[in-house]
Every structure is written in structure tokens, then in C-alpha cells.
Chains A and B, each alone.
Chain A
Amino acid sequence: MQIVKKRNNISNPRPAKKIAIVGLPNTGKSQIFNNLTGDYTIVANYPLTTIEIKKARCRIGNQLYEITDTPGLHCLYIHSEEEIVVREMLFAEKPDVIIQCIDANRLKQSLTLTADLLELGIPMVISLNVIDETIKRGIWIDSSGLSRLLGVPVVESMAVYGRGMEDLKNAITNARRGRLGFRYGEIVENGISAVESELTEHDGYKRKLSVLVLMQDPFLEDHLKKGCDEEKLARIRDAAREVRRQFRGNISLAMNNKRSRWVDDVAEKVVRKQKMAPGEFFQTFASLCRHPVHGIPILMAIVFIMYLLVVNVANVLAGWMDGTLWVPVQNQINSRVSAGFWNDFLIGDYGVLSLGLANAFITVLPILTVFFIMFGILEDTGYIPNLCVLTKRIFDRLGLSGAAIMPLVLGFGCKTMATLTTKSLRSKRERYISIYLIAFAIPCAAQMGLNMSILGRMGAGAFAIAFAVLAFVEIVAGVVLNRILKEEDRSDFIQELPAMRLPSMKAVLVKTYYRLYWFLKEAVPVFVYAALILFGLEKTGILEAAKNALRPVITGFLGLPLDMVEGLILCMARHEAAAAFIIKLIEKDQMNFIQCIVAVTVTTMFVPCFANIMAMIKELGAKSAITMVVVINMSAFAIGGVLNRALVGLSELL
């Protein structure tokens, strides 16, 4: 028993209380985080949107809080690497309050985690999210009953619309330790006490740690090693072994079973279902989207609609902005600065304003705006995970089992994020293949939008050919890697598919705003520096020399105009800059149908963006990552050359 009161809490008061937001994947954790802190992290209707822990501060009443947003977690018994980050955070930081986000439609699934969190003994609040949808589904949840059963505040909310936030803030100040309404059997409880007695206060969460020890959590020993010496660890192991011997059965399963019955019991008491569920349009639509026959036309229709909007809205918008915003500026400068060095510096081929700012704001921004709005809608409907189902067979051929599919599909959003989500793959081989494939021929959202805009100028045929080639290349790469790399254990494919819903327009616009803001913040300086560098290379004559040296490759092998050398240099800095440069070449009539296709396929594959390379280094180590980048670039050129030959040959035949 502790008689001496710890004084360091009094003498050294903490300025901010810590709140951790945890919950199953896709339950609105980031949305609650955004609502509480006024900060913004990307939210979408699918799992794995958040892959790293994020912190921000906010004030509720007079108390300052530090709020942590976390990736999804199923329960404290860990299945995969990305979940361990969350558990380690909880163990290490010992938050003062936990907010558990629960999707009210999936209450039962979340209660398993609730049981685990209650066992930690941290004051808790439950945010029962998407409560509006349960009503439509004919489900009613007795949230005050739930609160009574668990002994913690339960707040109903519709996080996307910001409803229920005041209640949540009140609940945070009233957060309290809940009670877990079940005990394990006698043998297990004795075992828990035996392991507990070996742990010290310093280890924290003694009961939960002991439970995990008995369940033989595969990652727990690493955690214990931090605080225990070898001797203590051996005693813990012995205690656990002794319990397992006494129990004879599969103890971990039996403990799970106890918890499951508690979950059933709680759900039974608080959930009321109408016998007749209303017919659900979205449910039907979702099943059509992943249907092998209807799914493909739906996917093609979605891509085609996006294509049409980029070509007919974004390109027109960009043209209008060019005429009304850029041309007057150009004229003004021409009338004030006579042709020569300074004119070139500002608005020449490599001018800071023309190649730097105008490309970013006038050429790229309108296209990205239109594409990001559409992509945001697509994300928030929850359509994207359905692609996992449609493409499953293809991925099987590529030697990728289930778990790798989601990261690859996410690559169409942001390749950097997708690379980081490969953490969830247990097989090293699969991780390697998927990181390669993500970096290789998958266009990220920005690249996709710009590719549509470029190819749209040449007609839908060009778009179809270029993407067919990219898909083909990707599949071949997968098959080849599959052959080369040694077979390992495959990981399971168990993918939860989110319910489809009508997106909130406001949420989509906010997301688009932030994506564009981040693009401008990160990319505009790069655009300007790249322009300055090209300007310098041009004035010193290095550019000319480089062009001459590369002429056989660029014009001969790839069949592109020689100016594409600048395009490729820009591509190394920022893919959007290269795309804008290609658009300018098309406007100057320097690119034909075939050249456009080749240029787009080469730039899509060429050097993944800087952030993506950093992510690759993080996941694979510098050596593998750099080898991969080199191989990708060489293949990009080789494929571009072959494609050029093939297309030229074909056009001569026709």
C-alpha cells in the first residue's frame, strides 16, 4: 500500500491535460480532432486515412488540453504494426482522458475495444458518432443506458456536421473511470494477480499488462523489456506459463470469449432494432459497385465523368484565368521592361513569374481544384475501398495477398501516405512489392487530374491508351517482382468495407481547401526555385549542353521534343511543374498525339516525388529505396522508348 503521497504532482503541475482520441478505423477520430482543435487533418470515409499520431492543443473552459489523434485500433491485443503505435502511445504517455470514437452503426464491434480501454482504468468519454445514420437504418441506441452500464459519459454526435461538440466538451470535463462488468474465471484472475505482483507502478496499467501477458500478445514482450530486466521478465514468463498449465485450455481464446459475452450482453441491453430495416439505396449501390459485372462499368463511368469534368470545366477555367489574369500581367511587363535579361527573368521561357508563379496558380491550381473536389466526394462516399474487392483477383496474380490491396488503392490518393500504410503488412516481401508498385505506375490524385487535363487536349483515346499502358506496366512489374522475390507466408485479407453515404458538401470543400492550401504552401516555392535553376542553367549555357547530350535519348529514343529535357528536370522537382510544362508545350503546338501519351506515361513513372522517396526510405531503408528509385527511372525511360516505337509503328500501319 502506498502511504507516502506522490508530491511531484503538486510541486510540478502539468500545464496541459492529455486527451487521446482512439477508436476503430473509420469512426471519425480525425473529424472529432479537427472539431475540437480547429486544426485540420485529412478525413475520409475509409480506414487508414490517419496513419500517424498527431497532436494539437485546445482550451476547454479554463483547462488547457493536449489532444492526440491516432490511427485506428481494434483492441489492445495487437494484430499489426500500425496498431502498435497507438498502444505504445497510450502506455508511454498515460493520457488523462480517453475519448473513444464509436460509429453508432458498428457499436458492437467497438465495444470490444471499450472493454480493453476500461481495463486500463483511465477516465473515459464515449463519442457515439454518425448517430443520424442509425435512425435511418431502423436502429435505436439507448445512450444513457450505455453510459449507466459502462460508468462513463456517452455523447451522441454527428461529427461531420460538428453537432454534439458542446456535449462532448462538457463530458470531457466530467470524464471518469468506468467499470468493466465482468471478471475472468478463478484461475485466470489468480494468474492476473500473480503477474501483477511482478509489475511495478512504473510499468503502469498493471491489470491490462497482465491480461495481455496471459493472452500471449506477440508484441508485448518488446514493451516489457523497456522497463524490466531479464530476471523479472523470466519471473513474469514463469507466472504466465504456470497459469496456462493449470488452465489446460486455450486461455487466450477463453478470455476473449468472456469479453465477447460481455459485449453481447451490453449490446443486447442498449440496441433496439426495428424488425423491418428500410430498403437502403446506398447499401444496394455499394453492392453494385463491387459486383464483378456491374462494378467495372460503374468504375469506368466514374473515371470518365471525372475526365469530362477536368477537360470541360478545369481546362476551360484554366484558359479563362490565363486570358483574364495572366495575359494582362504579361502585357504590362512587356510594355515596361524591354526585352533582355530582366524580361527573360520575369516572363521568359524560364521566368520566375511565368514558369514559377503562373504555372502554379493559372495552369495547375484550377485543374487540381476541380479534381480534388471530385476526388473528395469519391473519398467521402466510401466508394474507394470497394475497389479492393473488384481488383482482388488481379492482386492475387501479382503475388499480393489481401492486406496489400488497400495501400495500393490508397496510392491513387497520395503515394506518400500509401507508402506509409504498408506498415500494416506483415510480410516483408509484400511490403517491398507494394512499395515498388505504389512508387511506379500509379498516378496520385494530383498527377491523375493533370494527366486527364493533358491527355484530354488530345481526346479520350489518348487518355484510354496512356492509362491502359500504365495499368499493363504495373501488372507486368508486379508479376516480375512476384517471380523474383522469395515466397513467404501470405497475410490474410480481412477488409472492412465502410458504409456508403452521401458526402457533406461542406466537408468536401474544407478538405479541398486544405489540399490546395498545402499544395500552394509546399509547391509554389519549389516551382519558383525550379524556374530560377532552369533560368540559371539556360543563361550559363549548361542547359544547351545538356540538351545536346540528351538529344539521342529524348528525340531519338523517346521521340519527344527536345524541350522535354526541361520537363524532366521540372519533374524531379515537382510532378505538377512538369505537367504544367507539358501543357505549355501543347499550347505551343510542339506535341502531337503520340508524344503526349509518351510524355505522360514517362512523367507519371519518372522519379516519385520527394516526399514519396522519403517515405520509401523510412519503410525500406536508404539502400533499398534508392535502388528502387534508380530501377524505376530506368524502367520509365525504357518503357517510354518502347511505347514510342510501338505507337509510331502502329500509326504507320493504320
Chain B
Amino acid sequence: MSRKVMKDEYLEKLWNMKENEKRAVDDLKSLINGNLNFDTIDELASEDLVEFIEDSGKITLTEKGKDYAREIIRAHRLAERLIYDVIGGDYELAACEFEHTITRELVDGVCTLLGHPRECPHGMPIPEGECCTHSARYIETSIIPLTELKAGQSARIAYITRACDQRLHKLDSLQTRPGAMIKMHQKYPCHVVECEGVNIALDNDVASSIHVWKESRHFQSIANERKRLNERTN
């Protein structure tokens, strides 16, 4: 593991600790699987990315460190969304590599392509990038929430947010999951969709958690690619 990758991993774990409001160095130790490399920590501290107080055993990200970690986390979680839901691969392994090699422009591109998702497949928040706040208005996204389909339109499901919820299991048992075709029948008084030959009524909340590919030839081919990939793994 190169030193940069190692540092990135540490910053990523520290961000996770921040999300869980943890700051003990022991927590970091358990997240990193046992062996803490204090050289790395020293290096991070000297670059003013982390603050480490040895006496109290507290380790936290500095403001600069937060900005840095935020980018890594954003890349990682977007990559999970892309690789896991859209392409259907083994997301964890690939996403870990992805975050170290990718530029910010590329991350924003992926984010826009995916319709600025708010959560990774684990249900963790994806930090917002610049693209989410302004570019979104100018660049057309390829994935839209189901609620934006017109009655009578069909689309393929790209991903469903809130992965850790029981909602996902329920939808899954109705075969409503990434890769499936879904047809919007009506939008008022509530959404009625058809998926795998079954009509399902959904409230607005559930419907807007389902994201679909906007129909276009290019993305159809990605979906087909995904299917082929599945067949090969089987």
C-alpha cells in the first residue's frame, strides 16, 4: 500500500468516526484492523490534517483534514453507487481503489450522471459537491427519481436509496430492484407502478427513493452490459 493510499485510508476512517461522534485513537485502531501506523499519523499531523493529543488519546480531523476527507468519502460512496447498483459488480473492493485515483472533475461527472444521489448503498450520506449545488441546473442528469416519470412511461431502475431500510427488502420481494423495468401508470392520488407484471401503489416518499435511468440509447447499452455481466457470473 503506497503512503498516499494509507493516508487516505486513515482520513476516511477518521471521517467515519466523525459521523459516529467518536474520537478515541482506540476506535481508529479497531477500524483499521489492529495495527496503527504512528508514522502515518505523525505525517498527517505535520500536514495539519489531523489533530492528535497523545495524553488523552483523542484524534480528530482538522478543518483542512475534513475538506480532504470529504472528497475521498464522496468519491468512495459515489463509486459504490455506480459500481454496485448500476454496473452490478463487487462494489467494496473496486470502490476502495477508485477513490484514490480519481480527480474531482471525474467525481462530479459521476455524481451528475447518477442524478446527484444523497446516500451510498449502505445508507450513509454522500457529501455534496459543487456540481450538486449549481452545475445540476445546467448539465442534464441521466438518472431521475421515479416521481419524474410521466404516466405511461417506462424506465429501468438504476438504484434505490436507503439501502439499510426494511423498505428495500419489501421492494425487493416485489421484484422492484436495480435493473428491473418499471412502468408508471398513474401519479395521482398516489403513484401506481407496474413491475414484473404486478401493480403496486406507492406513496411519494417511497417513489422518490427509487431512481431510474432516463431512457436513451446510450444508457440502455449500459443496462444491457450489466445484464450480460450478470449472466457471465452465473
- Considering the complex, which residues of chain B in the window 158-192 have a beta carbon less than 8 Å from any beta carbon of chain A? 163-164, 166-175, 177, 185-186, 188-190, 192
User: Shortest CB–CB separation between residue B4 and chain A, in angstroms?
Assistant: 21
User: Shortest CB–CB separation between residue A84 and chain B, in angstroms?
Assistant: 13
User: Does the CB pair B196–A494 fall under 8 Å?
Assistant: no
Known: A109-B175, A392-B189, A392-B201. A493 touches B170 (CB 8 A): no
CA distance A402 to B167 in the complex (A): 13
Please tell me if A74 contacts chain B, counting CB pairs below 8 Å: yes
Please tell me if B65 contacts chain A, counting CB pairs below 8 Å: no
- Considering the complex, which residues of chain A in the window 70-105 have a beta carbon less than 8 Å from any beta carbon of chain B? 74-75, 77, 79, 105
User: Does the CB pair A493–B203 fall under 8 Å?
Assistant: yes
Give the residues in chain A near B91, CB-CB below 8 Å. Answer: 249
A-B contacts, CB under 8 A, total: 116
Give the residues in chain B near A253, CB-CB below 8 Å. Answer: 121, 163, 168
CA distance A253 to B172 in the complex (A): 10
Of chain B, the residue at the smallest CB distance from A277 is: B197
Please tell me if B200 contacts chain A, counting CB pairs below 8 Å: yes
Give the residues in chain A near B163, CB-CB below 8 Å. Answer: 250, 253
Task: Pick from A250, A490, A496: contact of B164, CB below 8 A.
Answer: A250
User: Does the CB pair B189–A75 fall under 8 Å?
Assistant: no
User: Does the CB pair A494–B172 fall under 8 Å?
Assistant: no
Q: Which of B163, B171, B203, B230 has the most CB of A within 10 A?
A: B203
Please tell me if A261 contacts chain B, counting CB pairs below 8 Å: yes
Give the residues in chain A near B222, CB-CB below 8 Å. Answer: none
User: Does the CB pair B189–A496 fall under 8 Å?
Assistant: no
Known: A74-B173, A109-B173, A256-B172. A496 touches B230 (CB 8 A): no
User: Does the CB pair B198–A79 fall under 8 Å?
Assistant: no
User: Does the CB pair A497–B201 fall under 8 Å?
Assistant: yes
User: Does the CB pair B203–A109 fall under 8 Å?
Assistant: no
User: Does the CB pair B169–A494 fall under 8 Å?
Assistant: no
CA distance A402 to B202 in the complex (A): 8
User: Does the CB pair B170–A497 fall under 8 Å?
Assistant: no
Please tell me if B92 contacts chain A, counting CB pairs below 8 Å: yes
Known: A496-B199, A496-B200, A497-B199. A109 touches B174 (CB 8 A): yes
Give the residues in chain A near B202, CB-CB below 8 Å. Answer: 493-495
CA distance A79 to B166 in the complex (A): 7
User: Shortest CB–CB separation between residue A18 and chain B, in angstroms?
Assistant: 26
How many residues belonging to B are interface residues under a CB distance threshold of 8 Å? Answer: 37
CA distance A389 to B174 in the complex (A): 18
Please tell me if B122 contacts chain A, counting CB pairs below 8 Å: yes
Task: Pick from A77, A137, A291, A496: contact of B174, CB below 8 A.
Answer: A496
CA distance A292 to B234 in the complex (A): 44
Give the residues in chain B near A232, CB-CB below 8 Å. Answer: none
Please tell me if A401 contacts chain B, counting CB pairs below 8 Å: yes
Please tell me if B206 contacts chain A, counting CB pairs below 8 Å: yes
Please tell me if A586 contacts chain B, counting CB pairs below 8 Å: no
CA distance A247 to B167 in the complex (A): 23
Task: Pick from A105, A139, A263, A292: contact of B188, CB below 8 A.
Answer: A292
User: Does the CB pair A389–B172 fall under 8 Å?
Assistant: no
Of chain B, the residue at the smallest CB distance from A263 is: B175
Of chain B, the residue at the smallest CB distance from A112 is: B173
Please tell me if B205 contacts chain A, counting CB pairs below 8 Å: yes
Of chain A, the residue at the smallest CB distance from B33 is: A245
- Considering the complex, which residues of chain A in the window 234-291 have a beta carbon less than 8 Å from any beta carbon of chain B? 247-250, 253, 256, 260-261, 263-265, 286-287, 290-291
Binding site for A on B (CB under 8 A): 90-92, 121-122, 163-164, 166-175, 177, 185-186, 188-190, 192, 196-203, 205-206, 230, 233-234
15 more CB-based (< 8 A) A-B contacts, given A389-B190, A494-B171: A74-B170, A79-B173, A106-B198, A109-B175, A249-B92, A256-B169, A261-B233, A290-B186, A390-B189, A392-B190, A492-B205, A493-B190, A495-B200, A495-B202, A496-B174
